[in-house]
Structure 1
Amino acid sequence: MNTQFIQNNSEPHYDVIVIGSGLGGLVSALILAKEGKKVVVLEKNNQYGGNLQTFVRNKTIFDTGVHYIGGLDKGENLYNYFSYLNISDKLKLRQLNKNGFDMISFDDDIQEYPIAQTYQNFVDQLAIFFPTERENLIQYSKKLEEICSAFPMYNLNIGTFADEEDFLSINAKEYIDSVFTNERLKAVLVGNNFLYVGQAEKTPLYIHALSVNSYIHSAWRCVNGGSQIAKLLIKELKKYGGEIYKYQEIKSFVQNENEEVIGCETIKGKRYFGELFISNIDIKKTIDMLGERKFGKPFSRRVKSLEVTPSAFTIYIVFKPKSFSYINHNIYHFNSINDVWDSYEKPTNNWPNTYIATFSMDQKDEEYSESMTVMTYMTFDEVQKWEESYNVDINDNYGNRGEEYEEFKRQKTELIIRKLEKKFPGIRKKISDIHTSTPLSYRDFIGSEKGNMYGYLKDSSHPMKTFISPRSKVKNIFFTGQNVRVHGVLGVTVGAFVTCCEILGAEYLMNKVHREIEPNANE
C-alpha cells in the first residue's frame, strides 16, 4: 500500500526518517544524528525501545526482552560500540557470577553445570565435571573465537562478513557431536540455546558462536532493566537535535509522480517527508507498505516465505520481602538432556520441557531477590483463537481478551510453578504476585510477527536464504533490526552500524568509531 502526495511547505522534512524505535532504529538514528543529519524516529506504541521495554508491577521493574547482556567489560566489542554512542559509562550494570553466569540443569541430575566467564575459566569449570574432555573444550573454545573473528564488524573491523557458504553451513549439533563424546556435556554446551532457539537439523554453528561468545567474555545484568539503554540512546539522540515521537504508526509510504519515495504516512493521516528511510519494523510489513514490485518480487517472496522463531510464555514473579535468596546467575532447566534441541517442538504433555529463570536483586537488601522471570517456549498456535484482540496498554489489563484467555494463562502458570517447586521447594509460599505474557503480548508490544523472539530461523542447509541486506532495492529505503545480521543486543547494535555503513561508507564510519573510542581505551 502506498500513496502519492505533493508535499506542502508546512509538513516536516527530515534527512532521515527511522520507522520503529527498537534498538536497531535508535542506534541507527543516533549514528546519523552525530553526522549532523536531521533525524526523526517514529514509534507506534506508548513506550520506546522494542525488546528493551520494561514494565512495572507491584512497584517492581520487569524486562520484556533483555535479561542479560554480554561484551560490556571495558574494551570489549559491545562496550566499544556503546562508547561511540556515549552510553557505556552511564549504564547501571551488575556482573553475573564469573564462575557460572548460566547454570544448566536437568530433572534427572542434581548437579548444576556452569557456563563461566572468560574462556580459560569456561574450560576449567566444565573440566571439573568432564575432566576427560578438557582438550576438546579447548579446541571448541578456539573454534568459537575463530568463527566470531570471521565477522569483521563483530570486532569493530572494516570488511564484509564471511559469506562463504561452506563456513556458514556448518551445523552446530553436527560440529559439537564431532568434537565431544560425553552426551551430557554436549547438552550442557548448548543448554542456553534459548538464546537463539536451537534446532538440531538447522541451527548453524555461527549463530551458536555469535550468541554465546560475548557472554563468555563477560556477562551482565541491567540494574532496573534494559530500558535504560533506550533512554540513554534517546537522550543522546536529542542532544544531536534528533526527534522522536510515539503513537506514530506508519501505514504507507508516500511517492511523487516519478514513484520515488519521499515520505510516509501514519494511520491518523500525519505525513513525514524525508530523503532516507530506515525500517526498524517487520520487513514483511515494510514490503506490504510499498508493494512487492518496488522491492523486487524474488526478494519479497523469499522474505515472506521465511519461518520465524517461536514466541514465549513468561511469568513474572514478585517475591514476598526477604523470602527468596538472590541468585546471581541464570538457570536453564530441562526435563532431560534429550530436550536441549528442538525443545519448542516437543510434545506438550510434560510442558514446559525447558525454562530459563532470571532474577533481580532487592535494592534494599542485596541478599534477597525482589523478583524472578521465567520464560519458556510457546508457539502462536496456542493463542491463535484470540489473535483478533490487540492490547498495547502498559497498565494492568486483566480480562481484556476475555475470561477464557485468563484461564488459559492461569493453567499455564500453574504448570510452570509446579516445575519450579521441584527446583526450588517451597517457592510457592514465597510468591506475592504473578503476572504473565503470551505470544500475543510480544506481538502487540514488540511488533514482531506472531510474537516471535528472534526474527527469522537460520538454517545451516540454506545459509543465504535468511541473509537480509540492509540496503533494499528501493534506493532510499534501508533495513535494520534483528533480521539484519543476528539478534540480541550485540547483534542488533552491530547490524545498525552495518546499516549506517551502507549510508555513510564503511571506511569512513568505522575509522571515525576507532578515532573516538581509542582515547577512552587508553585511559
Structure 2
Amino acid sequence: MVNKLYQPYKPNLDFSGLDHIVIGSGMGGLTVATWLAKAGKKVAIFERHYVPGGFTHSFKRKDGFQWDVGVHYVGNMAEGSSLRGFFDFLTDGNLQWETMGEVYDVANIDGTEYLFKAGKENFRKQFLAYFPKEEMAIDSYLSLIEKTNKRGGAFFFEKIFEPWFSKSVGWIFRKRYSKFSQKTTWEVLNELTKNERLIAVLCAQCGNYGLSPKNSSFAAHAMVIGHFLEGGYYPIGGADHICEKTLEVFTAHGGKIFINADVTKIVTENHKVKGIELGEKFIACQSVISNVGVNNTFNYLLSETDRKVCNFNLKNVQPASAHICLYLGLNKSSEALNLPKHNLWYYKHDGIDAIFDKATLENAPENFAYISFPSAKDPNWETQNPGTATIQAISVGNMDWFEAYKDSNWMKRGEEYLQLKKNFETEMLKVLYKIFPQIEGTIVASEVSTPLSTENFTNYKSGEIYGLAHSPERFALPFLRPKTKIKGLFLAGQDITLVGVAGAMLSGLLCATAILKFGSWKIFREIKSRQ
C-alpha cells in the first residue's frame, strides 16, 4: 500500500476541528469514514495496527509472498448488484473484481466431494444430483433462505430507527425475524430433513460465520449462504486493495488516517462524547464511531457508568470462535500445480458439531480444514509473482490452548510456542498432501498464526475474528445498533450487523445513515446512478 495514504500517530500533530473520529480501520470504519468524508465532514481514523484495513489487509514477507488475513471471497459482486454499487461508491469504481467461476466452494466430507455452483438453479440441480430423494427438503431450504433474508433486510434497516419509532413500529420487524434468528441452524434443517449427510453438506460453509449447526443462529446461516448463492468474487490485486482503493477516496476528500494509534479511552461528560484519549493526549471531536467491537468499546474504552446507560450486557453471548492458519508459499505457479479458484471445506466426517466441540490443538487440522488459494483467484498474481503460488489452510482454534503464552510478546513467545505451531503445520500438511499431492516438494515458505496473533493485532481478547458469536442470543441484544444512548457515540463493525466484508460494510452504511439522517439520501442517489 502507498504510505502517503496514512501516517504514524504523533501527539504533536494537529487534530483540531474534527467532526468525527473513527476508532479502527476495518471495513465498517472505512465505510462510515469515507461516507462522511464524501458528505463534507472532517474525519480522522485512528488504527492501533501498523497497517490499516483490519481484516481486509494483507501481510507480506521478504521472499515476496503475500497472504490475506480475512478476505477469502465476497459474494453478490456481479455488475449491477447493490453491493457492487456500494463498493464502487467507496472506491470511485477503482476496485476491480474477478469471479471465481462456476464452482466457488467444494465440501469434502469423509473423502466425498460436493460442489457449490453459482446460481440458485445451478445450486438446486447439483444438490438434487447428490440427494435425489430430498427434492422437497432442498426446495424448502432455498425458499426458507430467501424468506429469512428478506425479513433480515428489514431487521437490519430497523437499527437506524429513532427510539420512539423503534418502539412503535420496529418491534414488528424484530418479531418477524425472530422466527428464524432465535432457532439454531440445526433445528431448522432438522425440520426439513432427517438426512444427516445433507444437513452436513448444507452446513459445510459454517466456518464463514464461525459456529457449528447446533450453536449458530439460522439467521446468520441464511445470510451467509444467500450472500454466496450467486457465486464468489475476489478483489483483483489482493484483499488489501479493498482498503487501499477506499483510502484513496477517503483521503482525497480530506480524511486522515493514523496508524500505531492505540485509543485508550472514549471521553464523555454527562453521557455526551467529548473526544478520545491516546495515553495522555486528548483529542476533541463532535462524535466518535467505534469500529473495534462492542466488547472492546464498552468494557475497555468506556466507564462503567456509560456501560449501564447503554444497557450493555454480554453475559448470554460468547465471542466467536478463534482459528489457527497455515500460510504457504510455493515455487510453482497455480496453473502448473492445477490449484483451483474455489475454496475447499474439509471434514473428516459429517458430525460437524462434534468436530468443533471436541477440537484440540492436536486433532483440529486432522478433522477440519478450510483451504483457500489466493494466487489462483487473483489474475494479477502470476504477472507480479511469476512461477509462485500461495495457499492458506485454516482450522478451528481456541485461546485456552495458548494460555501459557498470553503474557509473552509477539515474535518472542519462545521455543515451546514455536514447536506448537510447527506441530500444527505438520498435521495440516498431511491433510493438504492427501487432497493435493501435487504440492509436495514445492513449499518454500510457511508461517502459522494462532489466536494470540489475532489478539495482538486486533485486541480481540479471545482471538476471535468474527466478534460476537452468531448465536440466537446475539440477535436479541438491544444495544447492537449504530446509535448508542451516549450522545455522539456510534458503533460500526460486524457486531452491529453480520460477519464478513459485506456485513461490516452494511454496518458502516447504517452508521453513516444514522449520523447524516436525510442528508444520506443524496449519497444513495449517487450509488444508484452507478448501477
- C-alpha distance in 1 between matches for 2:387 and 2:130: 29
Contact 1:295–1:472 under 8 Å retained in 2:
no
**Per-residue displacement from partner, 1:91-134 (whole Å, max 9, x unpaired)?**
23221131x21000123x3x310111110111112222222223
- Displacement, 1:467? 5.8
**Per-residue displacement from partner, 1:41-94 (whole Å, max 9, x unpaired)?**
11111100111110113212200111111111112232122133244x322322
Which residue among 189, 201, 206 is the counterpart of 2:214? Answer: 201
The answer for the alignment partner of 2:149 in structure 1 is: 148
Does residue 278 of structure 2 align to residue 266 of structure 1?
Answer: yes
Choose 491-500 or 152-161, whichever is displaced more.
152-161
Q: How has the CA–CA distance of structure 1 residues 22 and 153 changed in structure 2, closer, same or farther, with 3 Å as cutoff?
A: farther
Contact 2:85–2:528 under 8 Å retained in 1:
no
**Per-residue displacement from partner, 1:131-171 (whole Å, max 9, x unpaired)?**
22234322211211111111336998998693113342132
Does residue 218 of structure 2 align to residue 215 of structure 1?
Answer: no
- Displacement, 1:409? 0.4
Does residue 462 of structure 2 align to residue 450 of structure 1?
Answer: yes
- C-alpha distance in 1 between matches for 2:401 and 2:22: 33
- C-alpha distance in 2 between matches for 1:265 and 1:462: 30
Contact 2:73–2:233 under 8 Å retained in 1:
yes
**Per-residue displacement from partner, 1:397-423 (whole Å, max 9, x unpaired)?**
5xx211111111001111111122222
Q: How has the CA–CA distance of structure 1 residues 337 and 9 changed in structure 2, closer, same or farther, with 3 Å as cutoff?
A: closer
- C-alpha distance in 1 between matches for 2:148 and 2:252: 37
The answer for the alignment partner of 1:90 in structure 2 is: 94
Choose 417-426 or 360-369, whichever is displaced more.
360-369
Does residue 73 of structure 2 align to residue 63 of structure 1?
Answer: no
- C-alpha distance in 2 between matches for 1:299 and 1:180: 40
Query: Amino acid of the residue matched to residue 49 of structure 2?
Result: N
Q: CA RMSD in A?
A: 2.7
The answer for the alignment partner of 1:282 in structure 2 is: 293
The answer for the alignment partner of 1:386 in structure 2 is: 405
Contact 1:69–1:489 under 8 Å retained in 2:
yes
Query: Amino acid of the residue matched to residue 285 of structure 1?
Result: N
Q: Taking structure 2 as the reference length, what is the TM-score of the superposition?
A: 0.87
- C-alpha distance in 2 between matches for 1:365 and 1:48: 23
The answer for the alignment partner of 1:372 in structure 2 is: 391
Does residue 55 of structure 2 align to residue 51 of structure 1?
Answer: yes
**Other structure's SS at 2:413 match:** coil
The answer for the alignment partner of 1:357 in structure 2 is: 371
Query: Amino acid of the residue matched to residue 28 of structure 1?
Result: V
Query: Amino acid of the residue matched to residue 102 of structure 1?
Result: D
Q: How has the CA–CA distance of structure 1 residues 155 and 475 changed in structure 2, closer, same or farther, with 3 Å as cutoff?
A: closer
Query: Amino acid of the residue matched to residue 390 of structure 1?
Result: N
**Per-residue displacement from partner, 1:10-47 (whole Å, max 9, x unpaired)?**
75231101111111111111111111111111111110
The answer for the alignment partner of 1:518 in structure 2 is: 528
> Number of aligned pairs?
497
Q: How has the CA–CA distance of structure 1 residues 146 and 508 changed in structure 2, closer, same or farther, with 3 Å as cutoff?
A: farther
The answer for the alignment partner of 2:190 in structure 1 is: 177
Q: How has the CA–CA distance of structure 1 residues 51 and 461 changed in structure 2, closer, same or farther, with 3 Å as cutoff?
A: closer
Q: How has the CA–CA distance of structure 1 residues 409 and 431 changed in structure 2, closer, same or farther, with 3 Å as cutoff?
A: same
- C-alpha distance in 2 between matches for 1:141 and 1:386: 45
- Displacement, 1:203? 1.3
**Per-residue displacement from partner, 1:231-290 (whole Å, max 9, x unpaired)?**
11111111111111111111123346x5643111112x3332100110111323322322
Which residue among 453, 467, 480 is the counterpart of 1:441? Answer: 453
Q: How many percent of aligned residue pairs carry the same amino acid?
A: 26
- C-alpha distance in 1 between matches for 2:13 and 2:473: 52
Query: Amino acid of the residue matched to residue 248 of structure 1?
Result: A
**Per-residue displacement from partner, 1:459-506 (whole Å, max 9, x unpaired)?**
32674038612222211111111100111111111111111222122x
Does residue 350 of structure 2 align to residue 337 of structure 1?
Answer: yes
Which residue among 465, 478, 497 is the counterpart of 1:485? Answer: 497
Q: How has the CA–CA distance of structure 1 residues 130 and 437 changed in structure 2, closer, same or farther, with 3 Å as cutoff?
A: same
Query: Amino acid of the residue matched to residue 528 of structure 2?
Result: E
- C-alpha distance in 2 between matches for 1:480 and 1:92: 25
- C-alpha distance in 2 between matches for 1:72 and 1:500: 22
- C-alpha distance in 2 between matches for 1:15 and 1:373: 40
- C-alpha distance in 1 between matches for 2:307 and 2:204: 39
Q: How has the CA–CA distance of structure 1 residues 9 and 449 changed in structure 2, closer, same or farther, with 3 Å as cutoff?
A: closer
- C-alpha distance in 2 between matches for 1:10 and 1:46: 20
Choose 328-337 or 55-64, whichever is displaced more.
55-64
- C-alpha distance in 2 between matches for 1:154 and 1:298: 20
Contact 2:337–2:438 under 8 Å retained in 1:
no
Task: Structure 1: state its 5+ residue gaps.
Answer: 1-7, 392-396
Q: Taking structure 1 as the reference length, what is the TM-score of the superposition?
A: 0.88
- Displacement, 1:367? 11
**Other structure's SS at 1:429 match:** coil
**Other structure's SS at 2:391 match:** strand
Does residue 181 of structure 2 align to residue 168 of structure 1?
Answer: yes
- C-alpha distance in 1 between matches for 2:475 and 2:229: 25
**Other structure's SS at 1:377 match:** strand
- Displacement, 1:345? 1.8
- C-alpha distance in 1 between matches for 2:122 and 2:46: 44
Contact 1:77–1:155 under 8 Å retained in 2:
no
**Other structure's SS at 1:309 match:** coil
- C-alpha distance in 2 between matches for 1:328 and 1:296: 48
Contact 1:295–1:473 under 8 Å retained in 2:
no
Q: Superposed, which structure 2 residues align to 1:34-45 within 5 Å?
A: 34-45=38-49
The answer for the alignment partner of 1:502 in structure 2 is: 514
Q: Superposed, which structure 2 residues align to 1:112-127 within 5 Å?
A: 112-127=113-128
Which residue among 290, 302, 308 is the counterpart of 2:319? Answer: 308
Q: How has the CA–CA distance of structure 1 residues 169 and 272 changed in structure 2, closer, same or farther, with 3 Å as cutoff?
A: same
**Other structure's SS at 2:495 match:** coil
Q: How has the CA–CA distance of structure 1 residues 467 and 325 changed in structure 2, closer, same or farther, with 3 Å as cutoff?
A: farther
- Displacement, 1:457? 1.3
- C-alpha distance in 2 between matches for 1:330 and 1:474: 43
Query: Amino acid of the residue matched to residue 162 of structure 1?
Result: F
Contact 1:456–1:466 under 8 Å retained in 2:
no
**Per-residue displacement from partner, 1:425-458 (whole Å, max 9, x unpaired)?**
3533221221111111111123322210211113
- C-alpha distance in 2 between matches for 1:168 and 1:273: 39
Task: Structure 2: state its 5+ residue gaps.
Answer: 1-11, 162-169
Query: Amino acid of the residue matched to residue 17 of structure 1?
Result: I
Does residue 24 of structure 2 align to residue 23 of structure 1?
Answer: no
- C-alpha distance in 1 between matches for 2:231 and 2:214: 29
Contact 1:67–1:222 under 8 Å retained in 2:
no
Does residue 89 of structure 2 align to residue 102 of structure 1?
Answer: no
- C-alpha distance in 2 between matches for 1:344 and 1:501: 38
**Other structure's SS at 2:441 match:** helix
